[in-house]
Structure 1
Amino acid sequence: MQAREAEPPGFAAIDWSKPWFAPFAERGKRWQQAALTSYQALLAEMNADAGELRQSTGRGQRLAFIAQDDLPPGAAYEAHIAATGCVPTRHNLHDFFNASMWFAFPRIKAALNARQSAAIDALGVGSSRGGVRDMLTLFDENALLFACADAALGAALRGFDWHTLLVARRDAWGAGCEVRCFGHALMEKLVAPFKACTGHAWIVDVPAGYFEWDAMKREAFLDESVAAALLGTDALTSRMFAPLPVLGIPGWWPDNESSVFYDDTSVFRAGRRAR
């Protein structure tokens, strides 16, 4: 008899004490309770926040959340958001975290939507997204924001120099660099974390004083800086990212207190740049 596959984790499994979720916990806990009540309760909670904060999408339309079934047949997801401000949202973790990023990093989300919808206008939906839309989708789904005030740490990340970044310079985390999760598919995976779970890090140069700012000011700086880069860079490619295994981030997983954790070359790979 074939074994039954395990059910995917649901809303109750979100642990807001985890460092990757903690920055979003205040709103997230409210939404979680709504999601556990019903689909309609979740949409109502999201729209109440959208109405209060007056968020907008890539073309300045007022942000709102609608049921997935309300997306008109044949309409492209990103183009619909740009034209109407309405984000089709399913009652699942993937779309829950997607919606949460519209509040945590509204400028980045609006920039992604603006670039995606512009590409659709220019080239149509097509059978494939093309390089720019692929990059934007990868960012939206799997990005980590790596805030860095020390160029040597950014170089170590790009060079797959895990020992420097995560062991020898461990004391620099929180003082010279830090990470914020952004990709909603990545956050969905981190509800049930595993060692090989890897994000695509987007390096953000920050001033040294950044690490003395409060969380709200840091997030606003990241939001503005990254959005400006996404809108101001013509040649967006996936090579702009650097892979970063999430559970290797100092302070994010108990097992990485031992340097032996990083000896697993199936996760902490040498990488083509290092070779």
Structure 2
Amino acid sequence: MGEPVARQELPMHRALQCLPAMPVQFAPQDDLPEGAAYEQHIFDTRRVPTRDNLHDFFNGLVWLQFPQAKRRLNALQAGAIAAHGIGAVRGPLRDALTVFDENGALLDAPAPLWDALNARQWQRLFVDLRPLWREARLVLFGHALLEKLVAPRKPIVAHVYRAPAPMASLAQADAWLAQQMQPEYWATKPFTPLPVLGVPGWWAANEDPCFYADPQVFRPSRAMSDKTP
């Protein structure tokens, strides 16, 4: 999907605009007026200021794959800005929206995997229950997350949201995700951190169980830490 954009010797905003069925227009970065809020500008104009870098390249691809969710996310950002303005702190809702926009993912997985993930039981999640990952599907949403994975590093974390089973298509997942973004609920950050390179099949190094014996990445739950003498 992104290959036609990457091959074009054009400014990023023009290359992205060549993809069919884009739900917004992509504009050069200087389309954003000085002092204007990025999210508010997109909401008001349906134009996305775009730089010539990987970060904005992946943002464009996510707009193509998740148009409803991206529009909903942008509308909530703009609504929060209109209500509270731009301050030094984003506030719970804008902070949660930004976290998911940058590093979010959807995970459709059997209940035992979710139980182990929520409990931060990494050995159980990735080693004991490893065969169950064949029944799971992880779909990346965050454009910063995609950018990070261009140069993979063990500590990369996705903030995953539990998806319905099964996700028949990306279009279905997109519509469902947009409906999930209710302000009061989303402000609670209903996400779970997942070290994505620990997922079976995502990095060859995790075939060795010792890969997970790294407390700097695979941290125990706070409850377990509190029990440590």
Question: TM over 0.5: same fold?
Answer: yes
Q: AA paired with 1:189?
A: K
1:229 corresponds in structure 2 to: 180
Note the C-alpha offset of 1:238.
5.5
Matched-pair contact (CA < 8 Å) for 1:161–1:274: no
Q: AA paired with 2:153?
A: F
Matched-pair contact (CA < 8 Å) for 1:198–1:245: yes
1:255 corresponds in structure 2 to: 205
Note the C-alpha offset of 1:164.
2.2
2:18 corresponds in structure 1 to: 48
1:122 corresponds in structure 2 to: 83
Q: AA paired with 1:47?
A: Q
Q: Does 1:64 align with 2:25?
A: yes
Q: Does 1:169 align with 2:122?
A: no
Note the C-alpha offset of 1:96.
0.8
Q: Does 1:33 align with 2:33?
A: no
1:155 corresponds in structure 2 to: 115
Note the C-alpha offset of 1:223.
1.2
Cα displacement string for residues 152-179 of structure 1 (whole angstroms, at most 9, x for unaligned residues)? 221211111112221122112231x221
Matched-pair contact (CA < 8 Å) for 2:13–2:51: no
5 Å-filtered alignment, 1:104-253, equals 104-148=65-109, 150-175=110-135, 177-207=136-166, 210=167, 217-230=168-181, 232-237=182-187, 239-253=189-203
Matched-pair contact (CA < 8 Å) for 1:145–1:204: yes
Cα displacement string for residues 126-182 of structure 1 (whole angstroms, at most 9, x for unaligned residues)? 22211110010010011121123x22221211111112221122112231x221111
Q: Please list every run of 5 or more consecutive structure 2 residues that lacks an aligned counterpart in the other structure.
A: none
Q: AA paired with 1:194?
A: R
TM-score with structure 1 setting the length = 0.77
The sequence identity of aligned pairs, in percent, is 43
Deviating beyond 4 angstroms after TM superposition, the runs of 4 or more aligned structure 1 residues are none
Task: Measure the CA separation in 1 of the matches of 2:139 and 2:27.
Answer: 27
Indicate the SS of the match to 1:206.
Answer: coil
TM-score with structure 2 setting the length = 0.92
Note the C-alpha offset of 1:205.
2.7
Task: Measure the CA separation in 1 of the matches of 2:223 and 2:158.
Answer: 17
Equivalent residue pairs, number = 225
